[in-house]
Amino acid sequence: MFEQLQDRLSDVLKTIRGQGKITEDNISQSMRDVRRALLEADVNFKVAKAFVNRVQLKAEGEKVFTSISPGQQFVKLIQDELVEFLGGDTQGIKFKSSGVTIILIAGLQGSGKTTTSAKLASLLKKQQNRKPYLIAADLQRPGAIDQLEILGSQIDVPVYSERIADAVAVVKSGLKQAEILDIDTVLIDTAGRLHIDGELMAELKSLVDISSPDEILYVADGMTGQDAVTSSSAFSEQIPISGIVLSKMDGDSRGGAALSICQVTQKPIKFLGIGESIDAIEVFHPIRLAQRILGMGDVVSLVEKAQGVFNEKSAIQMQKKMLGNTFSLSDFKNQLMQIKKMGSISEMMNMIPGASKLKGMEMNDRQLIWLEAIINSMTPTERERPELINGSRRKRIAKGAGRSVQEVNQLLKQFSQMRTMMKKFGKMGKGKFPIGL
């Protein structure tokens, strides 16, 4: 996500930071490079032009402070403007102070509305202790009801459904049922079309009238780039959209839709879909994303991801094993499984300030899969006592995992070094070192 834009802007910002003096000429040249980077990232050309003009205007009229270099000050201007273009402040769901909050999910067919509905229900349940209820009102797409029911069962959220042709009737009945149950948040999954047409908008307007939603979230497929911007704008002209969810952002290395959509629609992005799993959705934070795009990292989001995966009890148990030098390859595998739950390795690396610039730090999700395969190819005894693994055992493990003997050797060497390091930390700090990997 945003990899292409990050790479292009990092080169531009590196040049800017090196400027001992900011002049009209180097401001103009730098902003030409920024504009080119934005256009290559599929940012709407009007948005790219407006962004460059605003930064350039502010830079030329900015008072130069002595506490920071002019280059750093210019980068700060770009960051501040980028935050504004992404919507400014973080805007989540606006819940009612009492009663049931109703959220209607709209969008074109194939944008990921049904999956997004379940993801949002899961996020609201886990992170905000809400009691969500899903209404299956997509009666156009075959399998949409079944899909929502399956997803609902996975996250233990009730789903209201009727296999009839009247979406309005389904929503009416679903809302009545929600009043009976102990529910505080209703999410309505609506039907989409391959394109915006009169029939689609008429049904949506009827559902809006019936449900009087507190939020109308438009799900836009981030992989479609400027098409997502265009469709979002068209929808917002027809119904009172309160916010946008950009789905499938893990499949878009450019990210131009996110940078364009707020400016074109004047609606805030509220959530990002960042993967296929039910937990692969996050609240959209303009400041954090701007820092990520500019290569400044996002430690806050990284810590939040870790807190959601590592529970305190298992972390304390793992720490004791590390200190007692009983940390095994089985424990190492468990740690890898926890890390995988946090999301893409490359995405996490982008959250660490400066990590993307370090040589030798390149990692990808396949490497975790390979390491797990090698450990799975070992016997339980070998995982607990890796010193038993001789040459013939290494060949057997490599063959079983479908990897090379060199990779097995490398894993065992790194694991041995890690255990030695843990032992030293235990003696020096008496247990005072970070939990986990």
Q: What CATH number corresponds to the domain at position 383?
A: 1.10.260.30
| Whether residue 170 sits in one domain with residue 64 | no
- Residue 110 has which token pair? 């194939």
- Inside any domain, residue 93: no
- Residue 303 has which token pair? 């810590």
Q: What CATH number corresponds to the domain at position 121?
A: 3.40.50.300
Q: Which H/E stretch holds residue 120?
A: helix 113-128
Q: What CATH number corresponds to the domain at position 39?
A: 1.20.120.140
pLDDT of residue 436: 41
pLDDT of residue 119: 96
Inter-helix orientation angle 365-376/405-429, to 10°: 90
Answer with the one of 54, 85, 116 that is the final residue of a domain: 85
| Whether residue 147 sits in one domain with residue 77 | no
Closest CA to 87 of 228, 219, 258: 258
Closest CA to 92 of 215, 187, 213, 179: 215
pLDDT in tens, 23-47: 777 778 888 888 888 888 888 888 8
pLDDT in tens, 349-383: 555 544 454 444 455 667 778 888 999 999 999 99
| Whether residue 272 sits in one domain with residue 136 | yes
- Inside any domain, residue 311: yes
Cα 336 to Cα 167, 312, 317, 422: the distances in Å are: 45, 17, 16, 17
Say if residues 306 and 280 touch (Cβ distance below 8 Å): no
pLDDT of residue 351: 54
| Whether residue 244 sits in one domain with residue 119 | yes
- Inside any domain, residue 96: no
Q: Which residues of the chain have pLDDT under 50?
A: 65-67, 298-300, 353-355, 357-361, 430-437
Work out whether strand 132-137 and strand 159-160 pair parallel, antiparallel, or are unpaired. Answer: parallel
- Inside any domain, residue 95: no
- pTM confidence score: 0.68
| Whether residue 40 sits in one domain with residue 74 | yes
| Whether residue 398 sits in one domain with residue 276 | no
| Whether residue 223 sits in one domain with residue 126 | yes
- Inside any domain, residue 382: yes
| Whether residue 282 sits in one domain with residue 155 | yes
Answer with the one of 28, 60, 85 that is the final residue of a domain: 85
- State the total domains in the chain: 3
| Whether residue 213 sits in one domain with residue 159 | yes
- Inside any domain, residue 38: yes
- Inside any domain, residue 291: no
| Whether residue 247 sits in one domain with residue 128 | yes
pLDDT of residue 361: 43
Domain span at 367: 302-429
Strand order of the sheet with strand 243-247?
A: 159-160, 132-137, 185-190, 101-107, 215-221, 243-247, 269-273, 281-283
- Residue 297 has which token pair? 């990292």
Answer with the one of 286, 312, 327 that is the final residue of a domain: 286
- Inside any domain, residue 333: yes
| Whether residue 257 sits in one domain with residue 136 | yes
Work out whether strand 269-273 and strand 281-283 pair parallel, antiparallel, or are unpaired. Answer: antiparallel
Cα 5 to Cα 200, 256, 271: the distances in Å are: 35, 9, 20
pLDDT of residue 279: 87
Closest CA to 27 of 58, 51, 69: 58
| Whether residue 126 sits in one domain with residue 32 | no
